[in-house]
Amino acid sequence: MSLVEPKKTTGLPLDLPVEELIVVPRRRYGIWIGIAIAMLFAFFIGKAFATNPAFDWATAANYLFHPSIMRGLGKTLLLTVVIMAAAIVIGTIVAIMRVSPSAVLQTFASAYVWFFRGVPALIQLIFWFNLSLLFRTVSLSIPGVGTIFSVNTNDFMTPFVSAVVALSLCEAGYLAEIIRAGIKSVPHGQFEAASGLGMSYRQILRRIILPQAMRFIVPPTGNEAISLLKMTSLVTFIAVDDLFYTAQSIYARTFETIPLLIVVAFWYLFVVTVMSIGQHFLERYYGRSDRRQENPLIRLLQSLLGSRKGRVQS
């Protein structure tokens, strides 16, 4: 509450009760100007969307559920799920290596993160796609027994497989850091208390440390999943027929570039929205031990639109 100082000229009596003083809100001219500019922009953007014929909304609507677009979307989702699952497994292993007592394992894990996070994803992708330039065949042979198997690199390194390998290794580098930070965020006393009760290192990690780390791991991992979904559009470069590649191959033929980009943008936005809702509920699950009572709908909207206040607890 802000109190207004009594003006000297009016000579307010000193015994006037505080509740009867009039509170005059501060005038926020800056905000009003900001609102005016924002409304102006919204108007021009809206007008452009509505009146510019090049947007060609009708064509976009026609392509929205086009069978090849649907197939492309399916491929994009498949890639995201497979890559994310692999990256979580690899990332967890690397993170546990990084917090292990062995200096060798720690160094190995650090080097992994350093490399796969440092090299651009597109370069890694094209590198794995061209693995055959490095190794013509991949074979396993045991001395004295002979060759167990031998395959041409090009036979199994299909565009899809290279995409999965390249992007999961790359994504695992990011996830390893997130998971490590999550593990570090759990107070050391939790580890000691569990050791004191006779729990083994594995049990402590699985039952005590990781579940508590999840509260810190889930929000950034959700963001990673969302950016991974969009990152998969890179596979267009090695001709995997994902959502973006399919749209490109259509507009290369029909020159309906803008409507098809709208279709692609729509589907990415749609999936990201669905993922955000899922993320919201996951966060709620892992934060259940310290949930505050709030309107669930408001919380959902807040987390969708990205305004999350006071989410990190002590």
Partner 1 sequence: MTSQAESRARFGVPADAMVFARSVRKSFGSLDVLKGIDLTVPKGSVACIIGPSGSGKSTFLRCINHLEQLTGGVLLVDGEFVGYDLRDGKLYEVKDSLLCKRRADIGMVFQSFNLFSHMTVMENLIEAPMRVRGVSVAEAKASAEVLLARVGLSEKANRYPRELSGGQQQRVAIARALAMNPKVLLFDEPTSALDPELVGEVLQVMRDLAESGMTMVVVTHEIGFAREVGDDLIFMDEGVIVERGEPREVIANPQSARTREFLSRVL
Residues in contact with partner 1 by CB under 8 A are 187, 189-190, 192-201, 203, 207-208, 211-212, 215, 289-290
Go through the chain and tell me how many residues it has. 314
Say which DSSP state 291 is in.
Answer: P
Q: Phi first, then psi: what are they for 40, rounded to 5°? A: -60, -45
Identity of the residue, 190 or 273, whose beta carbon is nearer to partner 1 in the bound complex: 190
Identity of the residue, 133 or 193, whose beta carbon is nearer to partner 1 in the bound complex: 193
CA–CA separation, 155 vs 152, rounded Å? 5
CA–CA separation, 313 vs 304, rounded Å? 20
Which amino acid, residue 289? S
Is residue 268 within 8 Å of 230, Cβ to Cβ? yes
Q: What is the closest distance, in whole angstroms, from the C-beta atom of residue 92 to partner 1 in the complex?
A: 18
CA 100 to chain centre: 27
Q: Phi first, then psi: what are they for 139, rounded to 5°? A: -140, 155
Identity of the residue, 184 or 230, whose beta carbon is nearer to partner 1 in the bound complex: 184
Which of 113, 67, 114 is closest to 90 using CA atoms? 113
Q: Phi first, then psi: what are they for 299, rounded to 5°? A: -60, -40
Q: What is the closest distance, in whole angstroms, from the C-beta atom of residue 40 to partner 1 in the complex?
A: 48
Which of 229, 235, 56, 103 is closest to 162 using CA atoms? 235
Tell whether the torsion through CA atoms of 59, 62, 66 and 69 is positive or negative.
positive
Which amino acid, residue 35? I
Q: What is the closest distance, in whole angstroms, from the C-beta atom of residue 226 to partner 1 in the complex?
A: 25
Q: What is the closest distance, in whole angstroms, from the C-beta atom of residue 287 to partner 1 in the complex?
A: 9
Identity of the residue, 100 or 236, whose beta carbon is nearer to partner 1 in the bound complex: 100
Identity of the residue, 55 or 286, whose beta carbon is nearer to partner 1 in the bound complex: 286
Q: What is the closest distance, in whole angstroms, from the C-beta atom of residue 15 to partner 1 in the complex?
A: 40
Identity of the residue, 155 or 192, whose beta carbon is nearer to partner 1 in the bound complex: 192
Identity of the residue, 88 or 213, whose beta carbon is nearer to partner 1 in the bound complex: 213
Q: What is the closest distance, in whole angstroms, from the C-beta atom of residue 223 to partner 1 in the complex?
A: 22
Is residue 243 within 8 Å of 217, Cβ to Cβ? no
Is residue 204 within 8 Å of 34, Cβ to Cβ? no
Q: What is the closest distance, in whole angstroms, from the C-beta atom of residue 53 to partner 1 in the complex?
A: 57
Q: What is the closest distance, in whole angstroms, from the C-beta atom of residue 196 to partner 1 in the complex?
A: 4
Tell whether the torsion through CA atoms of 58, 60, 65 and 66 is positive or negative.
positive
The total of other beta-carbon atoms located within 10 Å of residue 54's CB is 8
Identity of the residue, 203 or 257, whose beta carbon is nearer to partner 1 in the bound complex: 203
